[in-house]
Chains A and B, each alone.
Chain A
Amino acid sequence: MNFTFSDNEKNLFQEIESALTQENQFFMPGALQTENDVARALIAVKQKLSSTGYFKAFNDSSSFGPVATLEMMRIFARHHPSLFLGIEFGYRIFSEMHQILIESKQSLQIDNTLSCALAFCENFVETDTKQSALTMQSMDNYYLISGEKSFVINAGIAKYIAVNGHIDGKDCVVFISTPSEGLEFIFLRNKRIFPELPIANIRLRNCPVPKDMVLYPKQIHTLISQVQYFENFACIACALGMIDKCIETTTHFAKTNQSENKPLIAHQAVAFSLAETVTLKQTAELLAYRAAWMSATDDSEKLVMNQCAKVFCSEAAETIASQCMNILGGQVFLDNHLVEQMLFNAKFIQLIGSSTHRARIEIADVLLK
């Protein structure tokens, strides 16, 4: 066993910090007003991080390994949770899915270095491929696709949208390039979550898609669960990054503000509450590291560990945000305070990937085998 990062890994984390600090203009409040602003920021940050090895696949033998990768992701999430999720969903997760398709001998003629959005959710309900209401009409060398998908992250800025559905009773994944005829975005403008992240519902009305952009993975459930596996790691890192920032902000406030002639942190109720947040943070990060480490092993429990970490980290983020709000007081409701934002964000990352509900059921199913 080894519970520490190597010097090389620590240097790498420093490099990530420096790279992100250089892109600080995108992290300022109000810097990302439009989808175009976000698209520009994603490209700039991606270019900056590419040289560090940030985007190497989790189990790429030339990478620093999954635990170090998770830590890099956490550092990014600490700087800017919205851009972080945009990058992860737009590039890493799509790239991992692309790799899975290639490994299952499905060839896809698209550039996996371009950003992509995943549209697997319908009617705000979790992925259930059997329930998909998407219709596909076969024409000469293309399909006409109709239907709706909800909560599409990176909608409007992604070059491709991956949509799941059925054709002739077979499960499939369709890659729609954007813009496309018959493809409409309904942006969720007043959402309380990840404010800078473009999220939209999409509407497809006889949207033509070339037949070579439709893949028929043999096991769509396996594909989706593997995608969710990587989405879960993004959620885990996002939770850890937000937790770091939240505790840092609250601890600073508790040390520099006074009540009854002594610092807030000198009051036992405040100190003990902070102690609980630190306990949750340390526990969450260790569980996350172990889940990441296990992803590179043949251990049959790696899916369960991934889900355990997803549930624990995302729920810890909510608990911590709530406790920090009690310490920070009314200020959290002003000017999009980061701790208030974290409370909403934490709720969202409980829902995406494997939702905490679904994850618990799947964890138990393994225990009950």
Chain B
Amino acid sequence: MDFELSKTQRMFKKEVIRFAKKEISPRVQEYELKNEFDFEAFKKMGEFGLLGLHFPEDLGGGGADVLTTIIAGEALGEAGVDGGLTLAYGAHSFLCADTIFCHGTDLHRQKYLPQLISGEWIGCMGLTEPDAGSDVASMKTTAIRDGDHYVLNGSKIFITNGPIADLALVYAKTNPEKQHEGISTFIVEKGTKGFSAGAPLKKMGMRTSQTSELFFNNCQIPVANLVGQEGMGFFYAMQTVEWDRSALLAPMIGGMSYAIKQSSDYAKKRYQFHRPISHFQATKYKLANMKIFLEAARSLVYRIAWCKDQGQAVNHLEAAVAKLFIGDWSLNPTNDAMLIHGGYGYCHEYGMEMLFRDNRLAPIGGGTSEIQKKIISKLI
């Protein structure tokens, strides 16, 4: 076994941190308080090459391996970039663009990926429905073939980037009689007749990412917008799991590094009872627990990335373990980070309450902790 990052990867991580600290982090608080998406920061991420890091260079990507891509996500978190922006990045690059890259036609790739990679366009993925969350097969949205078109009807909910997306990758039933094998995947462009997005949902955390419903009302899309094969949609959605369990979790790992640094700095400066609170063992315990969580979680995420780099088929057990651990076990250390800051931790200025709120999504989004436990227990 070998856990060494290459020199290039280490240098790249430093570069991303430097970029994010200069171009993104100073704007986080402002946009978080406004509940607005930071389009400028997103565009700069595109210019820096983050949005298409793992795509081939001929499509405008960076040609990086998965591990390097994961490290970039970690670096964003470590630089203090909020969970909302990194979630938007994840939904855009991995859940939307990567599926087009893996299963779309050459025409799809040429038409959409350069715009998505540059950040000119924003993408989203529409899978969850009001009555179909963890139970994907019970989705009601249909896509019925009518000559050269499919006609979409139904709605989606909790769609990250929904209100701002130029392109939605939508999962719908082409055969409503079937369960998982009746699901197919489609590209729906903004402005298509019959397609609309709801108003941004008001959320506890991840506030800079815009989340909404998507509505399809006799929405006609060309047959050419079918991604891959009919009936394979569930399989494609499950392939994003590898990204869900690595790239989308990586910023949370970085966020924990950020929280440790902020909390340590604060504890050294904050005096109570004539000494810094860092001298109290209760504070040290919290910091140590944050560090232990960080190192444990980091190994899990790197492993998924490494497996993907090796071209290994997704190991559902290992992916679910990573998601469950980070989802459930991250709640205490983020709470500790806030508690170290005391009353200031409860206020927006220090960023810890934002981290606390953002991380509440970890056991819910991208497959709840209960679903992970179900997967793991089936595979034991």
Residues of A within 8 A of B (CB): 1-5, 67, 251, 265, 271-272, 274-276, 278-280, 282-284, 286-287, 289-290, 293-294, 297, 304-305, 308-309, 311-312, 359-361, 363-365, 367-368
Contact = CB atoms under 8 A, between A and B. Distances in A.
Give the interface size class of chain B: 35 or more
Interface stretch (B27-35, B146-154, B179-187, B278-286): B278-286
B295 A361 contact: no
Contacts of A271: 373-374, 377-378
B292 A293 contact: no
Contacts of A283: 296-297, 299-300, 321, 325
Contacts of B264: 367-368
B325 A279 contact: yes
Contacts of B374: 271-272, 275
Contact of A278 (B5, B297, B380): B380
Given A1-B4, A286-B296, A368-B278, A275 B287 contact: no
B215 interface: no
Nearest to A247: B380
A310 to B, nearest CB: 10
Contacts of A364: 278, 283-285, 287-288, 291
A365 to B, nearest CB: 7
A308 B300 contact: no
Contacts of A311: 288, 292
B291 A290 contact: no
Interface string B279-321: 0010111011101100111011011001100000000011001
Ordered nearest first, which 3 A-B pairs have the shortest CB separation?
A: A364-B284, A271-B377, A360-B288
8 contacts: A1-B2, A1-B5, A265-B380, A275-B376, A283-B325, A305-B295, A363-B288, A364-B291
Given A272-B374, A272-B377, 13 more contacts: A2-B2, A251-B380, A271-B373, A275-B372, A278-B376, A283-B325, A284-B296, A286-B303, A287-B296, A311-B292, A360-B285, A361-B288, A363-B292
A279 B376 contact: yes
B241 to A, nearest CB: 16
Centre residue among B67, B303, B376 by max chain A CB count within 10 A: B376
B158 to A, nearest CB: 24
Contacts of A5: 1
Nearest to B5: A1
Given A278-B380, A279-B324, A290-B299, A368 B370 contact: no
